[in-house]
Amino acid sequence: GIQVEQSPPDLILQEGANSTLRCNFSDSVNNLQWFHQNPWGQLINLFYIPSGTKQNGRLSATTVATERYSLLYISSSQTTDSGVYFCAVPNSNSGYALNFGKGTSLLVTP
Amino acid sequence: ETGVTQSPTHLIKTRGQQVTLRCSSQSGHNTVSWYQQALGQGPQFIFQYYREEENGRGNFPPRFSGLQFPNYSSELNVNALELDDSALYLCASSLADDGELFFGEGSRLTVL
């Protein structure tokens, strides 16, 4: 199945700083999702972005499908941005499933 | 809020017991999938249901089974619980022709 690698695995930021999270995948995909998992465990949809760039407030994402990577940008980080960020792509062997990376654990300090 | 609801939110079972977890999908969504998330890991696909039939399964043993009902809600059943089954179980709903998934808050299972 398709492999998903996220970097960095851990990140500590001071409030107000910017960051870039990366997601590499091993095969071509027809969709990609970014999620934020809050401390209570819920996965919150951030972006559904098979290709191109999208922005939502302080967050934006870019997927370059031909080069098999996606980037999540967080600007002017806030403490509420803390949590784990996952990217996920369809599993080529089971087209209905999403394959998740191991996530980037982000801590934003005051 | 995604509109996907799961119950119970937390439960504790002992090894060998059976558990049933429930999920109500987002309004209008006809596909439900289940994921297991162990501590410190990303979610792993268990199976997916569409029109009350399983139409995709991950690498999980047969003691993990499920149902989907006519109203698109779903159950995950796990028999003969093992300690390694302790995890967060996440339900997601989607439209069959659209790959975007929306997750519930999860059911956290502890097996003692």
CA dihedral B81, B86, B87, B90 (to 10 degrees): 20
The per-residue pLDDT for B2 is: 67
What does the alpha-carbon distance between residue B33 and residue B102 come to, in Å, rounded to a whole number?
10
pLDDT above 80: residue B14: yes
What does the alpha-carbon distance between residue A74 and residue A11 come to, in Å, rounded to a whole number?
12
| Residue B73, min C-alpha distance to chain A (Å) | 18
Q: Which has more confidence, B72 or B15?
A: B15
Interface size A-B, in CB pairs within 8 Å, comes to 63
pLDDT above 70: residue A39: yes
Q: Which has more confidence, A31 or B80?
A: B80
Please state which of the ranges A95-109, B35-49, B73-87, B93-107 shows the lowest mean pLDDT.
B93-107
Asked whether the beta carbons of residue A96 and residue B103 sit closer than 8 angstroms, the reply is: no
Retrieve residue A80's tokens: 């509420």
Retrieve residue A48's tokens: 């559904």
Rounded to the nearest 5°, which phi and psi values hold at A16? 100, -15
Rounded to the nearest 5°, which phi and psi values hold at A65? -65, -35
β-pair partners for A78: none
Handedness of CA A69, A70, A71, A72 (dihedral sign): negative
Which DSSP letter does residue A65 get? Answer: G
Mean pLDDT of A51-76: 96
Retrieve residue B4's tokens: 């996907």
The per-residue pLDDT for B30 is: 87
pLDDT above 80: residue B96: no
Asked whether the beta carbons of residue A45 and residue B48 sit closer than 8 angstroms, the reply is: no
Retrieve residue B63's tokens: 């003691």
Contacts of B45 in chain A (CB under 8 A): 91, 94, 97-99
% of chain A at pLDDT higher than 90? 81
Mean pLDDT of A37-57: 93
Average pLDDT, chain B: 93
